[in-house]
Amino acid sequence: MTHPFLALTDSDRDEMLGTIGVATVDELFRDLPEGIRLGRELDLEPALSEQEVFAHVAELAERNADASRELCFLGAGMYDHYVPAVVDAVLQRGELLTAYTPYQPEMSQGVLQAIFEYQTAVCELTGMDVSNASGYDGTSVAADACYVAKHATGRDRIVVTEATNPQVRQVVKTYATGFGLEVVEVAHRGGTTDPGELERAAADAAAVIFQQPNFFGCLEPAPELVAAAAEAGALPVAHVDLLSLGVLEAPGRYGAALALGEGQSAGNFPSFGGPNYGFLAARQEFIRRMPGRIVGETVDTAGERGYVLTLQTREQHIRREKATSNITTNQTLLALGGLVYLTWLGPQGLRELGETCLSLAAYAKQRLAERAGVEPVFATQTTFKEFAVRVGRNAREVVAAARERGVHPGYALGRDYEGMDDVLLVAVTERRTPEEIDRLADVLAEVAG
Amino acid sequence: MAPAESYPDDLKYHEEHDWARVEGEEAVLGITWFAADALGELVHFEPPEVGSTVTKGQSYGEVESVKAVSDLIAPLSGEVVEVNQQVVDAPETVNEDAYGNGWLIRIRVGEPGEAASLLDAAAYRQLLESQ
Amino acid sequence: MKLIYEKSQSGRRASALPRHESLTPPPELPEELRRSEPPRLPEVPEFELVRHFTELSTRNFGVDTGFYPLGSCTMKYNPRINERLAALPGFARLHPLQEEEGAQGALELMWRLQEILAEVTGLHAVSLQPAAGSQGELTGLLLVRAYFAARGEAEQRRKVVIPDTAHGTNPASVTMAGYELTPVRTDARGNIDVDDLRGKVDEHTAALMLTNPSTLGLFDENIEEIERIFHGAGALMYYDGANLNAVCGISRPGDMGFDIVHINLHKTFSQPHGGGGPGGGPVAVRDILEPFLPVPAVVRREEGGFGLDYGRPQTIGKVRGFTGPFGVFVRSYAFFRMWGPRLREMSEAAVLNANYVLARLKEAYDLPFDRLCMHEFVVSARSLKKQHGCTALDVAKRLMDYGFHPPTIYFPLIVPEALMIEPTETEAKETLDAFCDAMLAIAREAADEPELLQEAPHRRPVKRLDEVRAAKHPVVTYGFGEHPQPDVEPAPASTQAPTGV
């Protein structure tokens, strides 16, 4: 019986078995002891045709309230930014989509040059000297940074601000168990971190991780936090949003040792959590401690410019147990989406996008206060595209009630922070319009306490 | 053009393909032609700090080619008094001249008796043949 | 070819963004937080953008382009239906923090995928969270830690046993998980050296990490004995699923005695490799390890419907954001549904194809272990090197001229001049024959005209690239005004790292 993903005819099979010198396909498995064989058919539902699979899986997709069906003000780490058609067009090129890690550079100049261009974009945005070809996501790259800091400083403590994305903190803690690192959190004071408090916590720390804008959407006094970390001899690590870097200062400019973050905002769909990409960039001095792939420029035997994977002695396939990381498969395709997206935006577009987010978020804050009587929690803080509001009753109930009216109003911060059960984190991207924001305000006026 | 295989008689050898040239109270350390050839052209030398101590049989640094990384095993114990900056700047010097300009570090010998346990050139050659 | 930055002209752009004239200008940012210099992103119109990346794609080779027998990477055809499904707005635009009631379709898909993976691996519980195989490995080792910590054996069991044929990710994961490495040798038949093993497994051993079939493409004939040794010592067994494509529906890691498995969805279950990723590295475990799995768990609710369960007090925590790379799950789920119980035929075809290529190549290349192989095999160019001065690297580069992607080379490390070939099941006999003909022709060329190999490739967009120069003087970003101009001094013949895993 044929299958769309096989080419074997009966005569092919007979001829191939003859060349091998066995009578049956079963004989090819003679090295498997009897006792460990399955000896029955897999208990799976019968095979379907493509058309049937499409119908079944599309029906599952229909049952989700995605951002095309529900007005979305959810953020908290992933955002409903617009992804232009050129991203899809490039990522669906089979030569890029179905290639693997460019170990053979002569077969892979397309991907290699694209990664080189991506590294350049990340370094331009963050003000760093070196970027890798991507990490898994915005959480795992933070754990990567801890490994870099542990080896660079010889210290065994990590400080992370409480205003950093809770998932980032959770993943850092998970990895820290294996790394032999202690993780200490520094509380926020009114929505941002106090540099003095941070400096005291950072004594003897390998790294200080903070987020800018932070999880509440507030702008941290980032240059002061970096200075506080550096004063304590810890590596300052900035977790940033690429899309904010048209209007916000590059972390390299204010002295961060590493800059990293979640790339989804820039060129990936939220896709229920992935795949997406984490970016990781550092100052030159850490180049040999970087995890993962790095592409470098060189020349070929004819003197023509070309690109190769470089400094591979850092990596697991050569340095094995002493490698800077175990990562091999990364998120190149999604990072390529990031490069295409950032190219699409250009410097002007990036700045405009940042300004639009700022304007819309400011408008939203004002409308929510005016129409729904919902006030910002950290009223004196400057925010970027996200802000926290008190909704006067349990925020999860507010979410449920608003969803019945076709609006997802945001993330209930009580899920992660004590004493914030009545706080909603509202994200406003350039995809939202003033009219949609008014609609949110109207709905909150109905459902907030 | 890489030089031909050689193992000078005035050196002492460690089985991990490292050599030592004892000069009074000091010794110069490096890697053998065999090691340099196996690694290929060196692109990086990670030296120890001057003033640190090295211990016989243990790693005191690393050398890298594009395809491999190798620990540098100390043939003798002692304190590092000098690092060969020429190799830091141009690691391929080791491939070009493993026993001359391609030396790696100079130490003040800590345990003079240790040298006796190292191989002479003939014994090292024999070791290579047996591998 | 120019870089996108070299095509940039100030004042051009590909994007137009919505304008909201009614809005007041953005609030002023504090000066110390405000961007001081704009990033030098490319400035190009949309059509130049598309042409640039299209040209890049023509300088790249994927499974869609041709045969890609990169050993240990399972470069099989990626069905196009996967892409259509993953792009449905109900998936692509679904926020990961959507309430359970608003994500029932996605949660059901994940739950169903977990059930399928449990059946295929022969294990009890699955976490889809890890982003790739190596993160699955780390997750697995952290599960081992948590398991022994709960039994009060954390301090006692510090060692993880790994054979010398293992992927580099295994030892790297061991260090990252805070364990010590115990290497074990391979015997003359290509199995783990059981005598060597016996002396190394004791009450200090936490686990074995094993790829089976191994990176030599050989199924370990002593797997039952190995299982007795580890479980007898109270240790756990970890299965690196990189080579699962060999045994689906034939033998399951759980049946072999393994307690923890990671599955590479991008290898065996058709997530496109994307030039390096994304991947998916779900972990399946025996029941004794379920309490330690990452949170949240995707569960079926007793009252109906599906949900996320954070109530695992003994969990190792989270290894990745949210619940994993969901788009990868959509693709693999679709793939499973198109195979169903016939999955066994997939592995049978993969093993048949590999043995056929092996049978045709053994006359011209050295075979370190003369056995039937599983889904891949390793030959050596040692004789070509000795007799004609042509290395595995030269063979690989010459294959490019014949229109094939080279195999993995210089891996596993225990085979000199290794060429690791994995045809996968999605190739026609004609393609396999053309590849074998090319390999045999190359072996003849090595004897008659070795420069053809040593100077290859001759028909790619670039010739051999100077990796030494790239490593010595790393240029890892475009330097704009100060970017080094390519000089005309040609690169010397290159050397190459182990590739492909």
> Binning pLDDT at 50, 70 and 90, where does residue C21 land?
confident
Q: Is C450 exposed, middle or buried (0-12, 13-18, 19+ CB in 10 A)?
A: middle
Residues 6+ apart with CB under 8 A from C403: C66, C67
Scanning B53-92 for CB atoms below 8 A from A yields: 64-69
Contacts of C311 (CB under 8 A, 6+ apart): none
CB atoms within 10 A of CB A224: 17
Its pTM surpasses 0.95: yes
As given in the structure block, the two tokens for residue A114 are 């694209």
Per-residue pLDDT at C499: 58
Chain C residue nearest residue B39, CA to CA: C495
* Interval C7-20 mean pLDDT: 96
Contact partners for chain B, using 3 or more CB pairs closer than 8 A, are A, C
The Cα–Cα gap between C183 and C186 comes to 10
Residue to mutate among A9, A15, A68, A98, with most C CBs inside 10 A, is: A98
User: Can you tell me the distance from the alpha carbon of C122 to that of A42, in angstroms, rounded to the nearest whole number?
Assistant: 10
Helices (H), B1-131: 33-39, 85-89, 93-96, 121-130
Can you give the three-state secondary structure of chain A, one letter per residue? CCCCCCCCCHHHHHHHHHHHCCCCCHHHHCCCCHHHECCCCCCCCCCCCHHHHHHHHHHHHHCECCCCCCEECCCCCCCCCCCCHHHHHHHCCHHHHCCCCCCCHHHEHHHHHHHHHHHHHHHHHHCCCEECCCECCCCHHHHHHHHHHHHHHCCCEEEEECCCCHHHHHHHHHHHHHHCCEEEEECCECCECCHHHHHHHCCCCCEEEEEECCCCCECCCHHHHHHHHHHCCCEEEEEECHHHCCCECCHHHHCCCEEEEECCCCCCCCHHHCCCCEEEEECHHHHHHCCCCCEEEEEECCCCEEEEECCHHHCHHHHHHHCCCCCCCCCHHHHHHHHHHHHHHHHHHHHHHHHHHHHHHHHHHHHHHHHHCCEECCCCCCECCEEEEECCCCHHHHHHHHHCCCEECCEEHHHCCCCCCCEEEEECCCCCCHHHHHHHHHHHHHHCC
Secondary structure (3-state) at C395:
helix
- Within chain A, which residues score under 70 in pLDDT? 1
Give A280 to chain C, closest Cα distance, Å: 14
DSSP structural state of residue C36: S
> In chain B, whose CA is at the least distance from the CA of C468?
B66
The answer to whether the Cβ–Cβ distance between C60 and A63 falls below 8 Å is no
Contact by Cβ (8 Å): A272, C92: no
Q: Which pLDDT value is given to residue B3?
A: 86
Coil vs helix vs strand at C335: helix
pLDDT of residue A242: 98
In this predicted structure, the answer to whether residue B51 has a pLDDT above a threshold of 70 is yes
Calculate the average pLDDT of chain C: 96
pLDDT of residue B131: 77
Q: Which of C470, C472, C495 has its CB closest to that of B67?
A: C495
- Residue written as token pair 């699409």: A344
Q: Is A145 on the interface with C (CB under 8 A)?
A: no
pLDDT at residue C495 tops 80: no
- Angle between the A434-447 and A395-403 helix axes, to the nearest 10 degrees? 120
Token duo for residue B68: 């491999």
- Nearest CA of chain B to the CA of C467: how many Å? 7
Q: What's residue C493's pLDDT?
A: 55
Residues of C in contact with B39 (CB under 8 A): none
pLDDT value at residue C27: 86
Query: Is-contact A393 A446, C-beta < 8 A?
Result: no
Measured between CA atoms, how close is A323 to chain B, in angstroms? 11
Tell which residue, A35, A12, A44, has the closest CA to residue A25.
A12
Residue C500, pLDDT above cutoff 80 = no
Task: For residue C444, give every residue at least 6 positions away whose Cβ sits within 8 Å of its Cβ, in sequence order, or none.
Answer: C364
The answer on pLDDT for C60 being more than 90 is: yes
Contact assignment for C495 to B91 by CB distance below 8 Å = no
Supply the pLDDT for residue C171.
Answer: 97
Overall average pLDDT of the C181-205 stretch: 97
Q: Which residues contact B22 (CB under 8 A, 6 or more apart)?
A: B12, B76, B109, B115
Interface of C with A in 363-402 (CB under 8 A): 371-372, 374, 396-397, 400
- Cβ within 8 Å of residue C476, ≥6 positions away: A116, A119, A129, A130, A131, A287, A294, A295, A296, A297, A310
Write the pLDDT tens digit of every residue in C212-248.
999 999 999 999 999 999 999 999 999 999 999 999 9
Note whether C171 contacts B: Cβ–Cβ < 8 A: no
Which tokens belong to C477?
Answer: 């970003």
Report which of C122, B36, C332, B100 is spatially closest to residue A38, judged by C-alpha positions: C122
Instruction: Please report the pLDDT score of residue C492 as a whole number.
Output: 61
Type of residue at C153? E
B68–A313 CB contact, under 8 Å: yes
What's at C405, amino acid-wise? H
Residue numbers in B near C468 (CB within 8 A):
41, 43, 65-66
Give me the residues paired with residue A305 across strands: A299
Residue C486's pLDDT band, with cuts at 50, 70 and 90, is low
- Residue-wise pLDDT for A99-108, tens only, equals 999 999 999 9
Cβ atoms of B78 and B109 within 8 Å: the answer is: yes
| In contact, A32 and C251? CB cutoff 8 Å | yes
Mean pLDDT over C479-495 rounds to 71
